[in-house]
Structure 1
């Protein structure tokens, strides 16, 4: 029996991004063995455009595992698209290649009976941003017509400039352009949110962000959460995931997540850089403990956990802060001097704190290192 028994009393669907090594059906048992109430996985290799089709036997085994282990694939499973898909690419040939892989993913979801599909919305590169948002939405509309029921879930992003979704307004614009509103949603990644300049590290900042999200996007489109701490500081525009409590976000925000009633019933999926599945099991149990946190009796233990986790991540935070400060100083030095210096302050909804240069675009469109850890066993797909 697994040391991480699945919690049947939690009101939240806490889970993690799971390996599919040996076959897509193995993701279900892997998720169950670490106590997931929801989970994510790649539908095929994230390193190749084309992967073999599922066999009828593998599809049936996946569905059987879901039924026997108590997962509803329509609402409990959140597959992640390949990182190199870019439906906003202004180069038509590349956009079409992305669309083929995107549509293949949606069709795989429907073969497995999965109702949600999450992906990075891409980048407009050096083209007109608004025009490429229309192109992105057009491909989603086209894919909806070619499929039956799977919901496309846009993820918010960590960068600025040409990346779609760093600003919540991008997500709303795409939603407005999608014809079937019942089949479009949003996944909020806590690391991406913080890196993009939206401070969620305190209770007041957390509340302000969600008020902004509801006003800009709308809670009815919130379909999932990716739960990660951030190795990089606020507004660093770096997609660097960290284990819960060890990064610049700290443990408080995850306690707030575990107490937020509006997050009940949707997948809340860990993507932290864990070397083993057991690490995810430990974090799921931490989240379940935070769900039941009682300030009258648990405050000392919470403070001790916070201090321990922050101590563990201190070296990494120091290194990343030094890199951030160096980059900021370099950017400041290359700008034309002005009569007055405008100081950027931390706000709860700091948006697009700087324009992305070509280096930023190249960096943000690459697959992040911590996300490579998720895919290390998926080439067998």
Structure 2
């Protein structure tokens, strides 16, 4: 059986995210540990951390945290870069207190300043953050869809960043299927999937994969579009996801759907579709 889940809300209290994940039938879930659309946040209390950890122990569901939207680790603007690093340090600490093993981060946008400069700033940001964190939370670098000025849309970009990280034991990768497809990697055919995984292994190393963002795409291959679609309803399609889910490298890892909730399908529906296609 695959380990599959969705991104859930923390509205009301952080521990309620575990309840929502259990109610949706999740084996794994992703969340924001704070409001993702602002820089400010409330500190964690011991009571909240204890309740969250207790529910994780009781349910056995695997939690994954995601960085907020505003930080940009590749930003050439000093103020934004410094706030982004501070947020990353704080989020690693929050994961440590909550007992969350993985923190997923986007690599940001260089804002026209050049890929080399953007990559160097990401490396400096991660080394600063991991150097200021004494827990064992693993930071996962998420591949991007190839949007303008984005860092991390190619496996080579990710390799270049990983090579510059000092604490390599605390670094892994989150592979997003929609993003990889948007960046031009073929996932729909047996040959395409095999070639994509071979290139990933050569550049990044399959051993570094820790979490999969399992999302269909509203954009075609190579479109550079970061628009998620219900599993099987986008350009990757059901046959594509059937192949993905039967690849041992994917089926053995936690699968998080960041899919829409609308009149066509809800979170439970996407979880059910993943399990159906994996059988």
TM band (smaller chain): over 0.9
Higher relative contact order (CA 8 A, sep 6+): 1
Secondary structure at 2:22 match in 1:
helix
- Tell me the equivalent position of 2:64: 78
Q: What corresponds to 1:28 in structure 2? A: 18
Report what 1:159 is aligned to: 146
Shift of 1:183: 0.7
Equivalent runs, 1:145-294 vs 2, <5 Å: 145-147=131-133, 148-275=135-262, 279-292=266-279
Match of 1:144 among 105, 130, 134: 130
Counterparts in 2 of 1:290-305, with a 5 A limit?
290-292=277-279
Taking the TM superposition and a 5 Å limit, the aligned residue runs for 1:332-343 are none
Partner of 1:366: none
- Structure 1: 5+ residue runs without aligned partners? 1-9, 293-381
Pairing 1:363-374 to 2, within 5 Å after superposition: none
Paired positions, count = 277
Give the conservation status (yes or no) of the 8 Å contact 2:231–2:274: no
Q: Secondary structure at the match of 1:114?
A: coil
Give the drift of 1:161. 5.0
- For the 8 Å contact 1:191–1:239, the answer to whether it is kept is yes
Q: For 1:168 and 1:291, how far apart are their aligned partners in 2?
A: 26
- Any idea what SS the aligned residue of 1:97 has? helix
Map Cα deviations across residues 74-117 of structure 1 (whole Å, 9 max, x no partner): xx222111122111111111100111111111111001011110
Is residue 116–residue 150 contact of structure 1 (8 Å, CA) maintained in 2?
yes
Find the residue that maps to 1:154 and give its secondary structure: strand
What's the offset of the Cα at 1:214?
0.7
User: Is the Cα–Cα contact under 8 Å of residues 78 and 267 in structure 1 kept in the other structure?
Assistant: no
> Which residue does 1:7 correspond to in 2?
none
Q: Which of 5, 17, 34 does residue 44 from structure 1 map onto?
A: 34
Q: Contact 1:40–1:79 at 8 Å: present in 2 too?
A: yes
Query: How far apart, in 2, do the equivalents of 1:77 and 1:19 lie?
Result: 12
CA contact (8 A) 2:187 2:244 kept: no
Please give the secondary structure, in 2, of the residue aligned with 1:78: strand
RMSD value, Cα: 1.5
- CA distance in 1 between counterparts of 2:105 and 2:218 reads 22
- Verify: 1:112 aligned to 2:98, yes or no: yes
Quote how far apart the aligned CAs of 1:265 are.
Answer: 3.9
Tell me, yes or no, if the aligned pair for 1:40 and 1:77 is still in contact at 8 Å: yes
Query: What is the CA distance between 1:256 and its match in structure 2?
Result: 1.7
SS at match of 2:235: coil
* CA gap 1:202/1:174 in 2 versus in 1, 3 angstroms: same
Query: Which residue is equivalent to 1:60?
Result: 50
Whether the aligned pair in 2 keeps the contact of 1:83 and 1:119 (CA below 8 Å) is: no
Q: Deviations over 1:314-346 (max 9, x none)?
A: xxxxxxxxxxxxxxxxxxxxxxxxxxxxxxxxx
Larger radius of gyration: 1
Which residue in 1 is equivalent to 2:75? 89
Structure 2 counterparts to residues 14-25 of structure 1, below 5 A: 14-25=4-15
CA distance in 1, matches of 2:160, 2:187: 23
Cα drift, residue 263 of structure 1: 2.2
Aligned partners of 1:96 and 1:105: how far apart in 2?
Answer: 14
Q: Is the strand fraction higher in 1 or 2?
A: 2
